[in-house]
Amino acid sequence: MCEASDQRKRAITTSNMVNHNNMADVAKIFLVYENSLSEKQKHGIDELQKQCFRDVDPREVDECFYAESFARILAYHGKEIIGHLRLFRRNTDFDAKSFVLGGVGGVCVAKHKRRKGVATKMIKRGLKILKQEKCDVACLNADLSKSAYKVYEKIGFQLMSRAISFEDVNGKLRYDNGTMFIPVCSKEIYEYIMNSGKTFHYGKGYW
């Protein structure tokens, strides 16, 4: 199992964005830590999310998806934000084992830029950051009613066969199917969680 890391606190070079790769004409992928997000970036993300998550109940978002992310991965085409995801990290325990849980949430790509590998690039970049952050395993919530969750399967996430639980904003325990996991630093902890018969508890807030 990995030790906890302080890397999150490090300075963010000269700008608030760290360019990790260049997908040539499709998108450039950037890491932006939460406290470095500009107002313009927040606005661009809001607009993209409005376009991509029209079908999601805003009340459910407020009540359930209130966990705080530590960073975003943004995909830019020119000056336009065309892709986004959030990164989470939480110390937790399962069946008396303590470990670091990483997370990916809010994955979305602008309609006109889909099926070009943008989400795949962003998620892979996100997993590298979670590894730097010493996360043992990572998980995400997939909407199983949409075939788009296959993007996660292709990267290596596997659907847990049991429902997970989490505490909503009102302290009520809720259950959900559709959580996918992937090993990051510890295959052993991943196997243990996936093969157990016990309910996996996220803690306060889902992502």
Ligand X SMILES: CC(C)(COP(=O)(O)OP(=O)(O)OC[C@H]1O[C@@H](n2cnc3c(N)ncnc32)[C@H](O)[C@@H]1OP(=O)(O)O)[C@@H](O)C(=O)NCCC(=O)NCCS
148, 159, 160, 194: which one binds ligand X (CB under 6 A): 148
Q: Which of residues 36-95 bind ligand X (CB under 6 A)?
A: 52
Facing residues of 31 across strands? 18, 73
C-alpha span between 30 and 72 (Å, rounded)? 8
Facing residues of 81 across strands? 76
Considering the complex, what minimum distance in angstroms separates the CB of residue 141 from ligand X?
8
In the complex with ligand X, the residue whose CB is nearer, 117 or 205, is 117
In the complex with ligand X, the residue whose CB is nearer, 33 or 149, is 149
C-alpha span between 185 and 124 (Å, rounded)? 14
Total residues contacting ligand X (rule CB under 6 A)? 20
Q: Are 30 and 17 in contact (CB under 8 A)?
A: yes
Q: Are 31 and 18 in contact (CB under 8 A)?
A: yes
**Choices 102-110, 130-138, 181-189, 196-204; region in contact with ligand X by CB under 6 A:** 102-110
Q: Which of 160, 163, 108 is nearest to 137 (CA)?
A: 160
40, 42, 154, 172: which one binds ligand X (CB under 6 A): 154
Binding site for ligand X (CB under 6 A): 52, 107-109, 114-120, 142-143, 146-151, 154
